[in-house]
Structure formats: C-alpha cells, structure tokens
C-alpha cells in the first residue's frame, strides 16, 4: 500500500481546492466542487472564491445569491455555509440529525421546557410565506415561551427547520440582523426532492434516502479534500458513523497510508500531484474550509500554527500556513497586515507582496491608498 508524505497530501489537497492554480470555471461550479464555502460572515466566501477563480468579481457571487442558485444556511458542523441550491436540497435532510444534536448542545439549557416539535411548528407558522430577522423571530417565539432566551429560541430554529438567510444577507459588506425564511418558500421545493449527480457522474435520486446521501457526501468530500481518513470526513461534516459508508464504498476507492500509518481513502482518478509541484502564495478566507476540513491538519500547518487559526485568516507560502492576515482601515488607507510564524525568503516576501497588492485591489478597492506590512508573529 502506497504511503503518502505530508507534502504529497498538501499538494493533493491544494490541487482539489484550486489553490495551486486559479480556475476559469464559473463561481457556481466552484462552490459545488468545494462542497460549499464557510460563511460565518458575509465577506469570507468572496475572498475564498477570489483566491481560486481567475477574474472573480463580487457580483459573480452576489448575483448567484439573488438568483437563488446559492443559499446561505446552517449546515456542516452547525456553522453557516454557502452551498448551491441543488446541493442544499439533499444536504439539509442528511445533516438533520447532526443539527438536532448541535441544537441541543448549544441551546438546550437556554430553552428549558421547550418541546422541539412544538418550537419547530410554531416557527414554521411564523415564517410561512415571509421573512423575519433573527431578533424578530426570537421575540415572537418568546411570546409563547416567555421563560426562554429569545436568541436561543431563534437560533434553535436553524437546527430544527430548513431555513435559509436570503440576500442582502451574506453579500459583500453586509451587516445587520440575519433574516430567516423557509427553504421551501425560497427555493420553491422542499429539500431532498430534486435529483442530483454523484461526483463520478452517476444519477442519484435524492429520494434514495439517507444512505444514498451519505454516500454522495463522502464522495464529494474526497473529491474536494482527499486523500483523507474517515475521521477527517467526520470532522469536516459534523456527521458520525461514516465508517460504514466508507466500507460500502471501499471497492470504488483507492487506499493509501500516511506517514503515521493511518488509512487514507480517495477517488481512484483524483489528482495527486508530485510533492515538489510549486505552490503559489495564497491569502485564504477567514475559516476557509481548506484549513478546517481535516481532523489532522498537519498537511497544511504545524501544531503551533493550528493554535492561531480561527480569528484571523491564514496565509499560505509554499502551500503551508505561514502566517495570518487582516486588512485595517484608517484615514483613507487600507493596510494589509501580515504576521508571519516563521521568516520568509526574499523571493517569498516579494510573492506575498504581489499577491497582497492584488488582494487589496479586490477587498479594498474603495480605499484611496493601500499599504502592506509584514512582521513576525507576536
């Protein structure tokens, strides 16, 4: 059985994540190829697409949101993601048990005595045919359960019902209360009623049940993040018990080992570039799934670097996380501040500066002046 080095895993992941070379594919195709984009805040999905798509413009994603071809909703790991409308229809039912566990763990104590089925039915009635912001929904639900936290009531609905957050929520620069609407109202059909395709191109009806959907999810995960362990797939999705799904698919999969002997699964024809393939500098989006998509993240970062991932987005140099970045504005100047974990060579610094200037032109085009500063991590 072939052993894949950490650098080999790094290059394979970057290739599938479109981080070795930008693609000319449409934004919708990229969202689906990546199995969704982390979208805790409105701006990161735009940066995530900019880092992967040649000539990406803000309107390329904003238009998809308004045309209802991409939706923002609570999905993997109980966090906000952008996915295509087609993917949402089968993903949401698959993730429902996990989302119920997430609801209980996150908001159960703040909603004592609240029956989940009654809460779901009440919220569905309030949202039917319309849109309410999270505070509006929380206040309306608190009239029925005055002893419960209104915020917890409203956020619980994200785990109990297929709800999406329509634009302008999720669009570049958007701030303000999150709007809620029923997914079947917004998309025109209940989740899991539309046929979809597996990564290998075989048609698969969404009515095929949870097993079919779990199989598709694992294949899609491997296409975007492989080679990977079952534990990696579970960490990314929030699902459990994927080992049985992997065992069922095993005849269709390639099997490798990492340097510690862990079993890695993959699609046989998926790209696995030479470990020495050059990797360009990339500024990742905040909480980009490429840095969250594995239980073992050493293919992209050291354990020391992992401690810092979360608040600030990561910088890739030679394919690995070498620092963090943020854009600060003051007195008409947008400054890209880069904090490095380790020193970079002169050529690497020049590459960081060049890509940083391009990032500023995308993310801070309205600022009269741009600046870039590199410094060691405190």
Give the span between the Cα atoms of 81 and 240, in whole angstroms: 19
In this structure, is residue 20 part of a structural domain? no
pLDDT at 91: 97
Whole-structure pTM value: 0.93
The pairing of beta strand 369-376 with beta strand 333-340: parallel
C-alpha pair distances (Å), 47 with each of 173, 211, 319, 357 = 12, 34, 17, 14
Give φ, ψ of 324 to 5 degrees: -125, 160
Q: Which of 187, 207, 232 finishes a domain?
A: 187
Closest to 223 measured CA to CA, from 246, 240, 199: 199
Q: What is the mean pLDDT of each run of 10 residues along the chain (378 residues)?
A: 94 98 98 97 97 98 98 97 97 96 94 95 97 97 95 97 97 94 91 43 49 95 98 97 96 96 97 97 97 95 77 94 96 96 95 98 96 92
Structure-token pair, residue 176: 């303000």
Q: Are residues 177 and 315 in the same domain?
A: no
| Structural domain includes residue 321 | yes
Return the H-helix or E-strand segment holding 360.
Answer: helix 346-363
- Token pair listed for 95: 């993730």
According to the model, what pLDDT value does residue 190 have?
Answer: 66
User: What does the DSSP 8-state code read for residue 2?
Assistant: P
> What's the DSSP call for residue 258?
E
Provide the edge-to-edge strand list for the sheet that holds 70-74.
37-38, 80-84, 70-74
Q: Is residue 248 part of a domain?
A: no
Residue pair 279/288 in contact by the 8 Å Cβ criterion = no
Domain count, the chain: 2
DSSP assignment of 302-318 equals -HHHHTTBTTB-EEEET
pLDDT of residue 273: 97
CA distance 4 to 221: 18
Strand partners, 373: 337
Residue after which a domain boundary falls, among 131, 153, 187: 187
CB proximity list for 349: less than 8 A, separation 6 or greater: 374
Q: How many CA atoms lie within 13 A of 51 on its CB side?
A: 29
Q: What is the pLDDT of residue 328?
A: 96
Residue 230 lies in a domain: no
Asked if the structure places residue 85 within a domain, the reply is: yes
Q: Beta strands 203-204 and 282-283: pairing type?
A: unpaired
Cα-based angle 43, 44, 45 (whole degrees, multiple of 5): 95
Co-location of 183 and 55 in the same domain: yes
**Of residues 345, 315, 309, 316, the one with CA closest to residue 327:** 315
Q: Which domain holds residue 324?
A: 303-376
Which of 187, 218, 233 is at the close of a domain? 187
User: How, if at all, do strands 196-197 and 333-340 pair?
Assistant: unpaired
Considering all CA atoms of the chain, what is the largest pairwise distance in Å, rounded to the nearest integer? 63
Give the Cα separation of 314 and 296 in Å (integer): 17
Asked if 164 and 71 touch (Cβ cutoff 8 Å), the reply is: yes
Task: Give the Cβ contact number of residue 30 at 10 Å.
Answer: 21
**For residue 335, cis peptide bond before it (omega within 30 degrees of 0):** no
Q: Give a yes or no: residue 173 inside a domain.
A: yes
Distance of CA 57 to the CA centre of its chain: 19
Cα 173 from chain centroid (whole Å): 18
Whether 129 is covered by a domain: the verdict is yes
Residue among 197, 264, 211 at smallest CA distance from 241? 211
Q: Rounded to an integer, what distance in angstroms lies between the CA atom of residue 18 and that of residue 274?
A: 15
Question: Would you state the pLDDT for residue 191?
Answer: 59
- Asked if 127 and 180 touch (Cβ cutoff 8 Å), the reply is yes
For residue 147, give every residue at least 6 positions away whose Cβ sits within 8 Å of its Cβ, in sequence order, or none.
Answer: 112, 113
Whether 143 is in a domain gets the answer yes
Which pLDDT score, from 0 to 100, does residue 302 have? Answer: 86
pLDDT value at position 210? Answer: 81
* Pair (47, 176) in one structural domain: yes
Residue whose pair of structure tokens reads 């024809």 in the numeric block = 269
Tokens in use for 120? 């779901």
């Amino acid at each position: 059985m072939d052993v894949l080095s950490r650098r080999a895993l790094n290059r394979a992941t970057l290739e599938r994540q479109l981080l070795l070379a930008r693609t000319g594919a449409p934004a919708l195709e990229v969202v689906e190829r990546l199995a969704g984009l982390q979208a805790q805040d409105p701006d990161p999905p735009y940066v995530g697409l900019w880092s992967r798509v040649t000539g990406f413009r803000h309107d390329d994603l904003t238009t998809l949101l308004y045309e209802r071809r991409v939706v923002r909703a609570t999905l993997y790991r109980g966090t906000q993601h952008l996915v295509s409308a087609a993917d949402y229809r089968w993903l949401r039912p698959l993730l429902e048990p996990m989302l119920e566990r997430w609801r209980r763990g996150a908001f159960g104590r703040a909603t004592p005595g609240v029956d989940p089925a009654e809460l779901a039915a009440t919220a569905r009635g309030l949202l039917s045919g319309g849109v309410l912001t999270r505070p509006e929904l929380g206040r309306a639900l608190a009239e029925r359960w005055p002893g419960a936290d209104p915020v917890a009531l409203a956020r619980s609905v994200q785990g109990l019902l297929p709800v999406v957050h329509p634009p302008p929520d999720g669009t570049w620069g958007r701030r303000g209360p999150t709007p809620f609407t029923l997914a079947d109202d917004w998309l025109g059909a209940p989740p899991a009623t539309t046929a979809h395709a597996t990564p290998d191109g075989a048609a698969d009806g969404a009515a095929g049940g949870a097993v079919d959907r779990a199989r598709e999810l694992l294949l899609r995960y491997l296409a975007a993040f492989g080679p990977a362990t079952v534990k990696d797939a579970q960490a990314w999705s929030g699902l459990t018990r994927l080992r049985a799904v992997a065992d069922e698919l095993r005849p269709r999969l390639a099997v490798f080992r990492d340097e510690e002997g862990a079993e890695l699964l993959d699609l046989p024809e998926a790209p696995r570039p030479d470990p020495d393939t050059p990797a360009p500098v990339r500024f990742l989006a905040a909480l980009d799934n490429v840095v969250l998509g594995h239980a073992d993240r050493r293919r992209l970062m050291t354990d020391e670097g992992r401690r810092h991932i979360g608040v600030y987005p990561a910088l890739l140099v030679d394919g690995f996380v070498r620092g963090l970045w943020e854009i600060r504005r003051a007195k008409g100047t947008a400054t890209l501040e880069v904090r490095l974990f380790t020193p970079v060579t002169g050529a690497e610094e020049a590459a960081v500066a060049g890509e940083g200037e391009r990032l500023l032109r995308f993310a801070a085009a309205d600022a009269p002046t741009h600046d870039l500063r590199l410094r060691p991590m405190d």
